[in-house]
Amino acid sequence: MRTDSLLEVAAVSRTGRVVTAEQTAASGFMPPLHAHAADEAIHLIEGRLTVFAGADVVTLEAGETFVVAERVAHTFRVGPGGARIVFSTYAASASRYDDFLRATGPVTVGPSGSAVWAGVEDARAAVAVAAAANVSVYGPPGTLPAGAETAARAA
């Protein structure tokens, strides 16, 4: 996943400054299961994206936005052809949020073709970088929230 642009706005709240980042992600990409200390808006510019947030499973088309509530475990899967995504949240700093986005990108490809961490050191590094950005990591790439797993099976 590549950061195309990063913006830090001077609006400040208890959880930090407003940070907005535009990302380009390849087909099939999934970040680790994680949660932010503040709400996160996910806006899809191009492509298709399925968001797994708590018990919700929502597929976004270009031009659509989904807001993940603070502290809700979530991830997403990029659809065929890749995607351009804009994320907005409150974070301690733009650079730490960008570090989190970069650290949780795919490291290697597993047998199923999805992104996985190459090993324990990758996982530890991602968790440490996430913590510095006020983000909690709950599982490696490909892990779904418990509620979303149930919803995905029922669909």
Nearest to 28 by CA among 68, 80, 99: 80
Give counts: helices (H), strands (E), the chain: 3, 10
Q: For residue 108, give its domain range.
A: 2-154
How many structural domains comprise the chain? 1
- CA 151 to each of CA 52, 55, 56, 104, 147: distance values in angstroms, whole numbers, following the listed order: 9, 7, 7, 25, 6
Q: How confident is the model at residue 134 (pLDDT cuts 50, 70, 90)?
A: confident
Q: What is the CATH number of the domain that holds 25?
A: 2.60.120.10
List the structure tokens of 8.
């830090």
Q: Which residue has the higher pLDDT, 122 or 11?
A: 122
pLDDT of 13 > 60? The answer is no
Which of 26-30, 63-67, 140-144, 151-155 shows the lowest mean pLDDT across its residues?
Answer: 151-155
Give the whole-angstrom CA distance, residue 57 versus residue 72. Answer: 13
In three-state secondary structure terms, 36 is strand
pLDDT, residue 102, reads 78
